[in-house]
Amino acid sequence: MKSAAKKLIVFVVVACGAGWLLLDGSAFAASSSGGGGKFVVVINAKNPIKGQGKSVGELRQLVKRLYLKERSTWPNGSAEAKPFSRPSDAEEQAVLIKHVLQMSEAELAAHWMSLKQKNGTTPPRKVKSERMLMKFIGKFDGGFGVASAESAQKLGDDLAVLFEIPSS
């Protein structure tokens, strides 16, 4: 019976799907996003911001202002901004909050509560899947959201990558 128990290998998932840990303590890496954990901001291909030569820092600040609805249109009034978010447990949403908005979830919730009380502004629409996120971004000229780099490799003609989100 002991030998049968030794032959049984049980896997335990490490938090966030970042890897697998065997009960004997050995580990191997596995990425749940398949893109090495990298994420990008995806925009509608009709958005002219792509060719304006802005730095990643400038683009991050712009996306932050648009997402938080501090600004309602892309530069030059080219299109009304239409941000989309993912559910709070999605890795893409966590990356957006931490690396683009540079806020905590509590700060973001307080921001939306304040805007709702001041002028009725609501948070961006939550989209359950990355596939649906891409469809919505493609539907609106000013649409944007965060997706895995792996998904971005499969973008259609109606979508473009604005920038890769730095992980630090």
Query: Mean of the pLDDT values across residues 104-109?
Result: 95
pTM (two decimals): 0.75
* Residue 76 neighbours by CB distance under 10 Å: 9
**E strand or H helix that includes residue 144:** strand 143-148
The answer to whether the beta carbons of residues 147 and 134 sit under 8 Å apart is yes
Alpha helices in 89-148 (DSSP H): 91-95, 105-119, 130-139
Q: What integer pLDDT is reported at residue 51 of this predicted model?
A: 59
For 19-55, what is each residue's pLDDT tens digit? 323 223 333 223 333 344 799 999 999 988 865 788 8
Q: What is the mean pLDDT of the chain?
A: 79
* Residue 21 neighbours by CB distance under 10 Å: 13
Q: What integer pLDDT is reported at residue 166 of this predicted model?
A: 78
Query: Mean of the pLDDT values across residues 130-145?
Result: 94
What the block records as the tokens of 82 is 């239409």
Alpha helices in 10-164 (DSSP H): 56-67, 91-95, 105-119, 130-139, 149-152
Residue with the bigger pLDDT between 2 and 95: it is: 95
Query: Mean of the pLDDT values across residues 142-157?
Result: 90
Residue with the bigger pLDDT between 153 and 68: it is: 68
Query: Mean of the pLDDT values across residues 53-74?
Result: 93
Instruction: Residue 92: name the closest of 19, 140, 42, 30 by CA.
Output: 42
pLDDT surpassing 50 at residue 12: no
Q: Supply the DSSP symbol for 83.
A: E
